[in-house]
Every structure is written in C-alpha cells, then in structure tokens.
Amino acid sequence: MGQASALNLPFHLLRSMRPRQWLKNLLLFAGIIFSHNYGHFDLLGRAVAGFSLFCLLSGSVYILNDLQDVEADRLHPVKRKRPIASGAVSPGLARSFAMIGALVALGGGFCLSVAFGVVALLYFLLTLSYSFYFKHVAIVDILLLALGFVLRSVAGVFVIRVPDGPFVPLTPWFIVCVLFLALFIAICKRRSELVNQGEGGGSRTVLADYNAAFLDQIINISAGMAIISYALYLVTVTSVKNDPSGNRGLLMLSSLPFVIFGVFRYLLLVYKRNEGEAPDKIIFKDRALALNVFIWLVIMIFLHKPS
C-alpha cells in the first residue's frame, strides 16, 4: 500500500460504513420528541449517545455485508466503487474494524441501559441474518428491512427510560406506524432495483422471485396502511380523556395532510423517476419532499413541546 493510500485509509474505512445511511438512525430521536422530553438535556444526551452507537453498529454491519457481497459488488456499475470492492480497503482490515466497532457499540449500548443494549443486540443479529441469508428470501427480506426500522424506534424509547425519570410510553400504534412506513419504503426500493436491473434479478438474486405487478400491489397495501395507521395513531393520542377541549386533537390532525403528501410524493418519485433504489438520497434530491418533511417535523416538535 502506497503512502497516499495509507493516508486515505481512515477516509475509506469511514466510507465503507456508509455514513449517508446513518440518516435512518435519526429514528432514535422519535422517542424523545413524541414523549415531550426533548427539553430534558440529560435525556437528549442519552438519545445522542444512542444514535451514535447505532451509527457505529450499523456501519459495522454494512462492512460485514460488503465483505459478503464483494464479488457481486465488483460486477455492479455503482457498487464496484465501494472501498472493499475497489480494493481501497483490504478484507482482513475491514473485518477486524467491523468486529471491533460492533463490540464497542454493543458494549456501550449495555452501559447506557440493559433494555437498550438488548434491542441493539437484536438489531445486530437481525441485520446480520439479513446480510448473510435472508436478503435472498423473497418477502422475508423486506420484512426484515422494515423490522430494522422498528428496532431503531424502540431503541430510541428505551435509551431515555431512566430510573426516577419522566414516563416514556411505547404505544402499539407508534410501532405499527413505523412498521408500515418502513415496509412501504423497502418495497419501493425493491421495485426500483427490479426496474433498473431487469426482471432477471441482476446482482441482487432475490429480485428474480419478484415481478413489478406483485410489488405494485404490496406497495399500494403498505402505503394505505401507513397513512391509516398514522391517522389512527393521531386519534388515539388525542382522545377526549386527555384533550377535553379537542384543540390539541385538531392541531395533531393538521399533520396528517403532510404525511399523505409525503407518501404520494414518494410514490411519484418511484414511478415517474424511478428513484426508489436509494431512499437516503430522495429526501435531499427532491425539494418538495424535503420541505414537506421539514414542515411535518416542525409541527411534531411544536405539538410535543415539553409541558
């Protein structure tokens, strides 16, 4: 390895952890926002620590996944540029770096709380099982992708549950909303991959078990359920018992049109522009979607402000 390559090694190791994908880990902040606790700076610090540990953990899994797929990635027009596939990082170094990162992340997780550590371990085992086997099993692959998002959101609740601290609920509707939205995004991703690579499957072998018509049907189901479950979540958390005047309930329902627009706009980008293969890029590339998400987030932060 030349001197220039050695100097670039930390950058390539970081790139192999796919920092752009860490956007998904922002779900860990949902717990502190929806529980009205983001004004508690000690809990906010724990949420930031949990987010950081999940970035390290998910980055380590991405490295192990790339080691598993290195030969297939070298045949892909884009993935062949990844650090391991391109030879910028040796497999041995990548494997050692990933295992150390995972151990540090899991150890740190259990130090924060046992419950958070257990969820982090479940996430690690689930994503490993996906990377090494289940990503080749149709339907199970998208279910596991969605469950990864659910575990992130659950971890965000557990990390801010502390003895003698404020009550932090974990409602079934919160989990259901995350599940169906994650399913929607995962299925859209598979559809775009199928269209881009052809129904033969390309470098992702599971695509051979799908076809566009089937994916279109389950996209419609998951999109509808995502909107309905979010609407029912709003109705549940704004019951008459907790909100006798009904004013807060009406304000909460004002966020529903932004969720509907977000889902429909995402569908437009998937079907008209075929951009679903990289969900992490869509929100930055499409100004309308980015603005919509920003407004929704502002509404949620305002309506869940600490009392």
Residues 59 and 18: beta-carbon distance below 8 Å:
yes
Q: How far apart are CA 244 and CA 236, in angstroms?
A: 13
Q: Would the pLDDT of 56 be above 90?
A: yes
Residue 88 carries which DSSP code?
S
Q: ∠ CA(23), CA(198), CA(71), 5° rounding?
A: 65
Residue 277, Cβ neighbours under 10 Å: how many? 19
Give the side-chain half-sphere CA count within 13 A for 283: 14
Q: Would the pLDDT of 307 be above 80?
A: no
The answer for residues whose C-beta is within 8 angstroms of residue 130's C-beta and 6 or more apart is 141, 144, 145, 148
Q: How far apart are CA 16 and CA 98, in angstroms?
A: 10
What is the pLDDT averaged over residues 25-38? 84
* pLDDT, tens digit (0-9, with 9 covering 90-100), for 133-154: 898 899 999 999 999 999 999 9
Percentage of residues in the chain having pLDDT higher than 70: 89
Q: How far apart are CA 216 and CA 271, in angstroms?
A: 10
Cβ-in-10-Å burial (0-12, 13-18, 19+) of 172 comes to: exposed
The answer for residues whose C-beta is within 8 angstroms of residue 229's C-beta and 6 or more apart is 173, 176, 177, 180
Dihedral of alpha carbons 137, 85, 61, 148, sign: negative
155 or 170, greater pLDDT: 155
What is the pLDDT averaged over residues 193-214? 77
- The CA-to-CA distance between both ends of the chain, in Å, stands at 58
35 token code pair: 């529980």
Q: How far apart are CA 170 and CA 174, in angstroms?
A: 7
* pLDDT, tens digit (0-9, with 9 covering 90-100), for 230-264: 998 888 766 544 555 556 667 788 899 999 999 99
Q: What is the pLDDT of residue 167?
A: 73
CATH domain 11-159 topology? Tetracycline Repressor; domain 2 (1.10.357)
Quote the pTM value.
0.86
Dihedral of alpha carbons 99, 102, 108, 110, sign: negative
Dmax (CA) of the chain: 70
Q: Would the pLDDT of 181 be above 60?
A: yes
Please spell the DSSP secondary structure of 33-65, one letter per residue.
HHTT-TT-HHHHHHHHHHHHHHHHHHHHHHHHH
Q: How far apart are CA 99 and CA 87, in angstroms?
A: 19
Fill in the amino acid letter for 270.
V
Residues 150 and 178: beta-carbon distance below 8 Å:
yes
Q: What is the pLDDT of residue 184?
A: 95
222 token code pair: 């998951």
